């Protein structure tokens, strides 16, 4: 199967081909036609299955197809961490290389100055962490009243990190009439129940990792949320294959290291660099 067979437009196909994409992954060919048809989606797949492209490419096509003169944000992508927000924005920039569409990510941990400056320009797709989005919306720097498509990416992590109340507040700020795409690496009963409170007759798709090939990973810092460490390094052990994950840890991150080891259930070997 090719990207063209999914009825994606040539500017998107050209961009992803130049980026090294040869053919759609399982989750991409399973959900892209439904997203283009305006359906709500519940998609479940581990890191590496291609979830970001699965929702990003059809969203770009829908926005290109119905592009009125406007200054409002039309698509909102919620994600739990700064690193994921940045990654999604970078991917959107790649896929929209030949389209007249703009994207922006906003997240905590940095000054709002550059984000506010960018928000004064046209933004078609906003990628945001819940806390920073609520801060900016509460100060009336962001208007969510014209949102056409809502994406919740890595929804299980978002709820694990305690964002459920923030997500519910955001849902009250956006139109009820919208397309909603719900993606998660796992789908326990509480996540599925939460998803179905906000979706209309969703198409459900579950896929497995696209490859048993494993990779090594090097982290230059430890995340302060233990489950983020697992997410970052999940590609090192696909389908039972073996890979290595190496993390640099300074004295201030010792507590984070202990919390990660407690979560994964074993003590990782630790070495020291000599100056």
Secondary structure of residue 150 in the 3-state scheme: strand
For the chain, domain boundaries = 4-206, 217-264
pLDDT tens-digit series, residues 14-60: 999 999 999 999 999 999 999 999 999 999 988 788 999 999 999 99
Residue with the larger pLDDT of the pair 225 and 101: 101
pLDDT tens-digit series, residues 133-146: 999 999 999 999 99
b/e burial code for range 116-139 (CB count within 10 A of at least 16 → b): eeebeeebbbbbbbbebbbebbee
DSSP alpha helix (H) spans, the chain = 10-18, 26-36, 51-65, 82-95, 113-119, 130-138, 155-160, 164-171, 189-196, 226-232, 254-264
Q: For domain 4-206, give the fold.
A: Rossmann fold (3.40.50)
Residue with the larger pLDDT of the pair 98 and 254: 98
Over range 167-191, report the average pLDDT.
Answer: 93
Determine the Cα–Cα distance for residues 160 and 242; give it in Å rounded to an integer. 27
Report yes or no: 47 and 234 within 8 Å, Cβ to Cβ. Answer: yes
Pairing assessment for the beta strands 217-219 and 103-106 based on DSSP bridges: unpaired
Q: How confident is the model at residue 209 (pLDDT cuts 50, 70, 90)?
A: low
pLDDT tens-digit series, residues 51-105: 999 999 999 999 987 666 667 899 999 999 999 999 999 999 999 999 999 999 9
Q: How confident is the model at residue 7 (pLDDT cuts 50, 70, 90)?
A: very high
List the Cα angle 193/199/145 in 5-degree steps. 125
Average pLDDT, whole number, for the chain? 87
Determine the Cα–Cα distance for residues 13 and 250; give it in Å rounded to an integer. 43
Q: Give the pLDDT score at 192.
A: 87
Chain centroid to Cα 77, Å, comes to 7
């Amino acid at each position: 199967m090719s990207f063209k067979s999914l009825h994606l437009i040539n500017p998107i196909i050209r961009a992803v081909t130049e980026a090294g994409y040869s053919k759609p992954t399982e989750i991409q060919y399973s959900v892209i036609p439904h997203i283009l048809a305006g359906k709500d989606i519940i998609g479940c797949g581990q890191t590496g299955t291609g979830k970001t492209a699965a929702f990003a490419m059809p969203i770009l096509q829908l926005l290109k197809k119905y592009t009125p003169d406007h200054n409002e944000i039309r698509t909102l992508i919620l994600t739990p961490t700064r690193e994921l927000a940045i990654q999604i924005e970078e991917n959107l920039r790649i896929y929209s290389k030949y389209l007249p569409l703009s994207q922006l990510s906003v997240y905590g941990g940095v000054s709002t100055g550059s984000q506010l400056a960018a928000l004064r320009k046209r933004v078609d797709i906003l990628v945001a962490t819940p806390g920073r989005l609520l801060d900016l919306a509460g100060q009336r720097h962001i208007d969510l009243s014209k949102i056409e498509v809502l994406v919740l990416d890595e929804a299980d992590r978002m709820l694990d990190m305690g964002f459920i109340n923030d997500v519910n507040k955001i849902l009250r700020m956006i139109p009820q009439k919208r397309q909603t795409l719900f993606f998660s690496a796992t789908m326990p009963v509480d996540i599925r129940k939460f998803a179905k409170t906000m979706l209309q007759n969703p198409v459900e798709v579950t896929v497995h990792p696209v490859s048993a090939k494993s990779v090594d990973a090097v982290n230059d810092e430890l995340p302060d949320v233990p489950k983020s460490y697992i997410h970052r390094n999940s590609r090192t052990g696909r389908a039972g294959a073996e890979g290595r994950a190496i993390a640099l840890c300074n004295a201030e991150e010792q507590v984070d290291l202990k919390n990660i080891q407690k979560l994964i259930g074993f003590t990782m070997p630790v070495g020291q660099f000599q100056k």
